[in-house]
């Protein structure tokens, strides 16, 4: 399953990279800078961007002045991320790895962030346990995701996507695939049919995170053009929480 997912994103890397580079030059950029600055702050911290792709969050986090490591399973995505870091003169350490089995030491990062990754993991709870492990005490987890495949307004999705294609071609100089994962792959992803972000909130709390919060994120925040291009996928959400302080053992 993981091999199939990695192959899918290897093939999508160049197109996804155009989406990211366009975003770094569009009205989307200040919106995301504001979102991340509010969640993480502007004082330099050590951040792990899990499922970084071609630098979706990592580039903006680096622009905010943070010490950023971007991790992804797809070597093609990482190649694009490195090219983008050079293109925008930003310092990001891109490394290949498994989001469900991180290669980092315990308590290595102040923040673990991800965007549009958790839904595509075969074992999301295992991944979150790993992300918690590498967080320092009182470190923050920031998850940005969406219920991309929910049945809500499903009848609108395909015609909307067809109508959005010319806008994507004109503005981003790329074609957007009309298909995503096939139904067999989707059926093996546990978060596809969950009630989110309610499920994410409960899961983080069950793993011991505190001050767990969630908020909706509308494409309209990025402007009318972005809404017309990508509003067909539904709304995103952001969930965050803090890792509790370690309690010293008593004798």
pLDDT digits 0-9 by tens, 113-159: 999 999 999 999 999 999 999 999 999 999 999 887 665 556 677 78
Superfamily of domain 2-243: Vaccinia Virus protein VP39 (3.40.50.150)
Q: What is the pLDDT of residue 151?
A: 57
Q: What is the pLDDT of residues 161-213, one digit of tens each?
A: 888 888 889 998 887 654 577 888 888 999 988 999 999 999 999 999 999 99
Contact call for residues 132 and 209 (beta carbons, < 8 A):
yes
Q: What is the pLDDT of residue 249?
A: 45
Q: What is the pLDDT of residues 5-50, one digit of tens each?
A: 899 899 999 999 999 999 999 989 999 999 999 999 999 999 999 9
Domain ranges of the chain: 2-243
Whole-angstrom distance, CA of residue 216 vs CA of residue 46: 26
Tokens of 146: 């969406």
Task: Flag the least confident range among 26-30, 106-110, 170-174, 233-237.
Answer: 233-237
Say what percent of the chain tops pLDDT 90.
68
Q: What is the pLDDT of residue 222?
A: 86
Quote the strand ranges of the chain, DSSP E. 46-50, 67-72, 92-96, 109-115, 135-146, 209-217, 236-243
> Is the omega angle on the peptide bond into residue 106 within 30 degrees of 0, that is, cis?
no
Question: Can you tell me whether residue 54 is helix, strand or coil?
Answer: coil
């Amino acid at each position: 399953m993981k091999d199939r997912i990695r192959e899918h994103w290897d093939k999508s890397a160049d197109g996804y990279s155009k989406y990211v580079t366009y975003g770094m030059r569009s009205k989307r950029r200040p919106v995301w800078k504001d979102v991340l600055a509010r969640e993480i702050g502007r004082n330099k911290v050590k951040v792990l961007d899990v499922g970084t792709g071609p630098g979706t969050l990592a580039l903006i986090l680096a622009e905010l002045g943070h010490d950023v490591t971007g991790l992804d399973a797809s070597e093609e995505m990482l190649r694009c991320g490195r090219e983008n870091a050079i293109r925008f003169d930003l310092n990001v350490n891109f490394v290949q790895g498994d989001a469900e089995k991180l290669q980092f030491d315990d308590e290595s990062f102040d923040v673990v962030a991800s965007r549009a990754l958790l839904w595509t993991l075969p074992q999301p709870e295992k991944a979150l346990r790993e992300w918690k492990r590498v967080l320092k005490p009182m470190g923050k987890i920031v998850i940005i995701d969406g219920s991309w495949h929910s049945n809500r307004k499903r009848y609108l999705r395909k015609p909307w996507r067809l109508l959005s294609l010319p806008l994507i071609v004109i503005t981003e100089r790329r074609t957007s695939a009309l298909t995503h994962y096939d139904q067999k792959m989707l059926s093996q992803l546990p978060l596809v049919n969950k009630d989110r972000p309610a499920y994410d909130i409960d899961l983080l709390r069950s793993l011991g995170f505190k001050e767990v919060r969630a908020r909706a994120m509308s494409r309209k925040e990025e402007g009318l053009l972005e809404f017309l291009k990508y509003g067909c996928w539904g709304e995103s959400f952001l969930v965050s929480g803090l890792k509790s302080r370690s309690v010293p053992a008593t004798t």
